Amino acid sequence: MGIPMANNLHAPTVSSGSMSGGVPHDLSKLSMNDLMKHKERIEEELSALSSVLGSHGVNMSTSLTTFDGFPRDDIDVAQIRTIRAQIIRLRYDHKEVMTEIEKGIHSHFAGLQSATNNTLPTRTTNGSVPLSSEATSSAADTSGLTPFAKVNTVVAGSPASQAGLQAGDSICSFGNINWLNHERLSKVAEVVQQNEGVSDCLPAVGLPSSASQQVYAQLTGIVQRTIIVKISRTDATPGNTTNLDLQLVPRRDWGGRGLLGCHLLPI
């Protein structure tokens, strides 16, 4: 049946040839665009390597030995160990790149915040907060407000509708998610799930709606979590665009499907 391996089969090893790519020595010198391209290259390679593992019927934690400690003879143990080592290194590289991207995002928003500190927005009837002309012009030049999704449809009476979202609106940021980190809108879905709030449609308990929500929140430990959604809306006048801040509270029991009641498409 063979001789038990003296070395740990699960310990990662690298081949004599270096892996493709690799993180540059000084990520801080790269532009945001270069960082994003490097991130995408790493993710593509991770996906390819994971597919190779899958073709062997294994993953990062699958045992490479039999129950009695012998190497399995139904898989290429050496290749799998090498691929696992590559994945471990690429995951570390990805973490370093994401750290630099997050620094860049924070820097962009810090600049935006300082530019709008003295601005007092006026809230509209639908809960939106129009930006001042000064804030709008400065925001338009920042990567943090680059649209990354478009609202395709909005269901009447849904949380999205109550927040003021309309079909055709361009999403520039969704909480802390923007064009740099939305990952094909998957991160938007995560933010929605993490911020599910209390419904307006609570059972009648002899209290006003707002008081009912407070009591319900205290009893269940659930609180409303508002997501600030920055949008760009094209007005009827050609070339006239308005930037708005909308307050969105995802809810499950509003009477329709999903937590938002709208359909977003990536741009």
**Residue pLDDT, tens place only, 224-254:** 578 899 998 887 766 678 889 999 989 887 8
The CA angle 217-221-223, to the nearest 5 degrees, is 50
Looking at 2.30.42.10, 3.40.50.12780, 3.40.50.300, 3.90.550.10, the CATH number of the domain 129-266 comes to 2.30.42.10
Q: What are phi and psi of 229, to 5 degrees?
A: -110, 115
Does the pTM exceed 0.75? no
Q: Could you tell me the two tokens for 216? A: 């319900």
The tokens describing 129, both together, are 């907060």
pLDDT digits over 166-178, tens only? 999 999 999 888 8
Helix ranges, the chain (H): 32-55, 77-116, 133-139, 159-163, 186-194, 209-220
> Using one digit for the tens of pLDDT, what is the confidence trace for 29-66?
888 888 888 899 999 999 999 999 999 899 999 999 99
In whole angstroms, what is the distance from residue 3 CA to residue 35 CA? 47
Is the torsion defined by CA of 211, 207, 221, 225 positive or negative? Answer: negative
Domain boundaries, the chain: 27-115, 129-266
**Alpha-carbon gap, residue 182 to 236, rounded angstroms:** 29
- For range 69-74, the mean pLDDT: 91
Band (pLDDT 50/70/90 cuts) for residue 112 is: low
Torsion of CA 250, 256, 258, 259, to 10 degrees: 0
Residue 243, classed as helix, strand or coil, is strand
Residues in the chain, overall count: 267
